[in-house]
């Protein structure tokens, strides 16, 4: 075991330039992290002002101050109780804004063993507010913040000593009770199905042996022994670590790797972002916080890890042997059955003295895993369509989250009157960005709520003619999910243009002002709280004449008998029932529209309409 100092000399990880930051002994304010039991959150003397960005402890203090952190001091079994408890806020009818982050301080397992590392669950993306606190921006600015970070990366800064190496275990020390993987309280995600605890928010770091560029991605890791950790990179998601694994395999060498368990939120968020393989995630994480991410070199492998990581597992991944891994409940909502996958032989475990482990809720969506990916991926899709493909009519991209897990159902929101050719370019572009993304890609207008599957069906039902507005794309990768041998393992995709092609009558709900007034009455009567769902008021979709507007205005003034007198004068016996008025009685109703106005005014209006028609003739 080795203890390091809090003196931090630094240099650029890209160059060798020395640029020591100011040090500080200011701790996280104790009052921000005091639990109901009086137990304070772990704090550090190396504060966020010294490094330029918050670490996990700072982030937890911010959540606590915002009333978003629940601290659990009663005994919790990590293998049977922890994840099921937090799961209830995703499956118990609790609205996303009401979800919380959890910090478990008294952890045991089914054998009664106790652990000295607290576990934080839901602390990165249980809801958008928690995510935005980690991002350091408003919820509405998340997409813009990501775009800026990707466009303006900042190289990391290497430090000599780091908090993540305050305690170091290597060699035979890893076999002593509690000093190997057995000392890390990794919870079981799906008790009753999973065959072991799995690291879920585990950033695997590896390096391209040809370019020297590091890659960081989140992959699950099965706890197999005190010195053996599984690694499943889910190949359908195009993981960078697999490219590195293949290159090392060709060289006949093991793949050096490091696994980070708990780190600054900016690093965690970037690790699930889809970036090009020639981009180091630390650069983009620096762009997120506007400062270099401080990194330190590992003890037994030549890799850089976040200096403020909580726990780091170092080792080598075999490129010769694979071994059984899983069953494990996966983010596609089904149990991933056992398959052969890679494994790491652990050479070192380093950690902070007061480390906190992070675990993420995944499996059936919505989940913390799906939200953390969604808020990162949607801006990537929008940037691809608007900037890379130059489609100006695209306003937003929305990935459907509940049960379908983001990639299967993608809605592209476009402006009204976007040319059909551009709508279809957007559909093709969204369906091809990811290898397995977009089984259903649906173009809609911005009056349709893409998060409401009922609204999507509504748009497809009335705005799409499947003989004209639907295409099937063949030879698609089935992606992340249960596998099928049908069609030689290939899948397909459906592209649907569910935008308005014609003017439609208004949405049949009271106008906004009447619904808002009624809401005040509802609240005055102390009725149950309302949660408005779009559409909650009616609006025009273009097919609404001046005559219709006048009749509706009379109705709300209780003058509807005037309309009754007018329409009695327009009786016809030469038309079948259900004949639309606007196609047959325009001139007669034009005069009736004006009510008490002079006939000359009606003639003037009629004349101006005739002139307008003349101007449109070729």
Q: What angle do CA 581, 587, 589 make, to 5 degrees?
A: 55
The answer to whether position 260 is within a domain reads: yes
Number of folded domains that form the chain: 3
Residues 447 and 569 in one domain: no
Residues 355 and 409 in one domain: no
State CA 487 to chain mean position distance.
31
The answer to whether position 615 is within a domain reads: no
pLDDT for residue 46? 55
pLDDT for residue 594? 54
CB 198 within 8 A of CB 186: yes
- pLDDT tens string 68-90: 999 999 999 999 999 999 999 99
Residues 180 and 224 in one domain: yes
Task: Identify the CA nearest to 312 among candidates 281, 342, 359, 349.
Answer: 349
Range of the domain at 465: 389-497
- pLDDT tens string 577-618: 988 887 665 555 555 555 555 454 444 445 444 443 443 333
Residues 299 and 432 in one domain: no
Where a domain ends, among 338, 359, 380? 359
Residues 196 and 56 in one domain: yes
Residues 159 and 304 in one domain: yes
Q: Which residues pair with 11 in a beta bridge?
A: 18, 158
More reliable by pLDDT, 17 or 368: 368
Q: What is the rounded average pLDDT for all residues in the chain? A: 86
Alpha-carbon span 122 to 99, nearest angstrom: 9
pLDDT for residue 321 is more than 60: yes
Q: What average pLDDT does range 487-510 have in this prediction?
A: 92
Distances (CA, A) of 148 to 144, 287, 374, 533: 6, 7, 17, 32
Alpha-carbon span 390 to 242, nearest angstrom: 32
Residues 351 and 425 in one domain: no
The CATH number of residue 109's host domain is: 2.30.110.10
The answer to whether position 281 is within a domain reads: yes
Phi-psi region at 62: left, alpha or beta (left = phi > 0; alpha = psi -120 to 50): alpha
Assigned token pair, 313 = 């597992």
- pLDDT tens string 500-546: 999 999 999 999 999 999 999 999 999 999 989 899 999 999 999 99
Assigned token pair, 521 = 């009455």
The pTM (predicted TM-score) of the whole model is: 0.78
The answer to whether position 366 is within a domain reads: no
The answer to whether position 531 is within a domain reads: no
Residues 159 and 16 in one domain: yes
Residues 218 and 346 in one domain: yes
Q: What angle do CA 465, 469, 470 make, to 5 degrees?
A: 110
The answer to whether position 466 is within a domain reads: yes
- pLDDT tens string 551-574: 999 999 999 999 999 999 989 898
The answer to whether position 312 is within a domain reads: yes
Distances (CA, A) of 350 to 131, 174, 296, 355: 27, 11, 12, 10
Residues 379-413 as b/e (b if ≥16 CB within 10 A, e otherwise) read bbbbbbbbeebebebbebbbbbbeebbbbbbbbbb
pLDDT for residue 8? 39
The CATH number of residue 397's host domain is: 3.40.1670.10
Where a domain ends, among 359, 379, 398? 359
Residues 184 and 234 in one domain: yes
Q: Positive or negative CA dihedral for 429, 434, 439, 443?
A: negative
Assigned token pair, 197 = 């605890």
Where a domain ends, among 470, 497, 524? 497
pLDDT for residue 2? 42
Residues 354 and 402 in one domain: no
**Secondary structure (H, E, C), 374-428:** HHHHHHHHHHHHHHHCCCCCEEEEEECCCCCCCCCEEEEEECCCCCHHHHHHHHH
Alpha-carbon span 286 to 53, nearest angstrom: 9
pLDDT for residue 593? 54
Contacts of 469-473 with CB under 8 Å at 24 or more apart are 469/496, 469/497, 469/498, 470/494, 470/495, 470/496, 470/497, 471/427, 471/495, 473/431
The answer to whether position 377 is within a domain reads: no
Alpha-carbon span 427 to 424, nearest angstrom: 5
Assigned token pair, 575 = 């038309």
Residues 69 and 116 in one domain: yes
């Amino acid at each position: 075991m080795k203890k390091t100092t809090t003196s931090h000399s630094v240099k650029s990880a890209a160059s060798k330039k020395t640029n020591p930051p100011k040090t500080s002994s200011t701790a996280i304010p104790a009052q921000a992290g005091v639990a109901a039991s009086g137990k304070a959150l772990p704090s550090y003397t190396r504060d966020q002002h010294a490094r330029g960005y918050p670490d996990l402890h700072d982030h937890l203090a911010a959540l606590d101050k915002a009333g978003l952190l629940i601290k659990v001091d009663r005994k919790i079994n990590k293998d049977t109780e922890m994840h099921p408890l937090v799961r209830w806020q995703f499956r118990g009818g609790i609205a996303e804004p009401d979800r919380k982050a959890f910090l478990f301080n008294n952890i045991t397992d089914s054998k009664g063993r106790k652990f000295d590392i607290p576990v934080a669950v839901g602390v990165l993306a249980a809801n958008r507010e928690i995510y935005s606190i980690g991002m350091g921006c408003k919820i509405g600015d998340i997409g813009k913040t990501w775009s800026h970070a990707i466009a303006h990366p900042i190289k990391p800064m290497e430090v000599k000593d780091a908090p993540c190496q305050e305690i170091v275990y290597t060699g035979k020390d890893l076999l002593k009770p509690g000093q190997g993987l057995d000392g890390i309280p990794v919870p079981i995600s799906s008790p009753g199905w999973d065959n072991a605890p799995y690291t879920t928010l585990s950033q695997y770091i590896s390096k391209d042996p040809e370019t020297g560029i590091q890659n960081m991605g989140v992959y699950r890791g099965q706890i197999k022994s005190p010195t053996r950790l599984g690694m499943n990179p889910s190949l359908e998601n195009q993981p960078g670590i697999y490219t590195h694994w293949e290159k090392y395999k060709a060289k006949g060498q093991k793949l050096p790797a490091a696994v980070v368990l708990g780190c600054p939120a900016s690093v965690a968020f970037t690790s699930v972002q889809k970036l090009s393989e020639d981009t180091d995630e630390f650069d983009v994480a620096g762009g997120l916080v506007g400062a270099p991410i401080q990194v330190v070199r590992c003890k037994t492998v030549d890799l850089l890890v976040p200096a403020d990581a909580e726990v780091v597992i170092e080792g080598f991944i075999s490129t010769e042997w694979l071994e059984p891994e899983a069953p494990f409940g996966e983010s596609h909502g089904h149990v991933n059955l056992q398959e052969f996958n890679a494994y790491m032989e652990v050479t070192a475990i380093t950690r902070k003295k007061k480390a906190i482990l992070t675990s993420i809720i995944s499996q059936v969506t919505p989940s913390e895993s799906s939200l953390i990916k969604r808020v990162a991926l949607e801006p990537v899709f929008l940037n691809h369509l608007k900037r890379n493909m130059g489609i100006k009519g695209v306003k937003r991209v929305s990935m459907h989250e509940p049960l379908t897990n983001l990639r299967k159902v993608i809605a592209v929101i476009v402006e009204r009157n976007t040319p059909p050719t551009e709508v279809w370019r957007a559909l093709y572009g969204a369906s091809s960005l990811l290898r397995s993304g977009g089984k259903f890609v649906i173009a809609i207008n911005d009056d349709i709520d893409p998060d409401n599957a009922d609204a999507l069906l509504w748009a497809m039902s009335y705005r799409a003619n499947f003989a004209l507005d639907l295409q099937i794309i063949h030879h698609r990768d089935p992606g992340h999910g249960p596998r099928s041998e049908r069609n030689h393992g290939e899948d397909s995709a459906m592209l649907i243009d569910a935008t308005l092609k014609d003017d439609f009558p208004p949405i049949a709900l009271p106008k906004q002002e009447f619904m808002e007034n009624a809401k005040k009455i509802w609240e005055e009567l102390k009725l149950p709280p309302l949660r408005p769902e779009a559409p909650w008021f009616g609006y025009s979709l273009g097919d609404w004449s001046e005559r219709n507007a006048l009749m509706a205005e009379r109705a709300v003034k209780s003058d509807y008998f005037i309309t009754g007198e007018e329409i009695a004068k327009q009786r016809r016996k030469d038309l079948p029932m259900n004949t639309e008025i606007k196609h047959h009685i325009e001139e007669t109703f034009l005069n009736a529209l004006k009510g008490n106005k002079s006939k000359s005014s009606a003639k003037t209006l009629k004349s101006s309409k005739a002139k307008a028609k003349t101007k449109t003739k070729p």
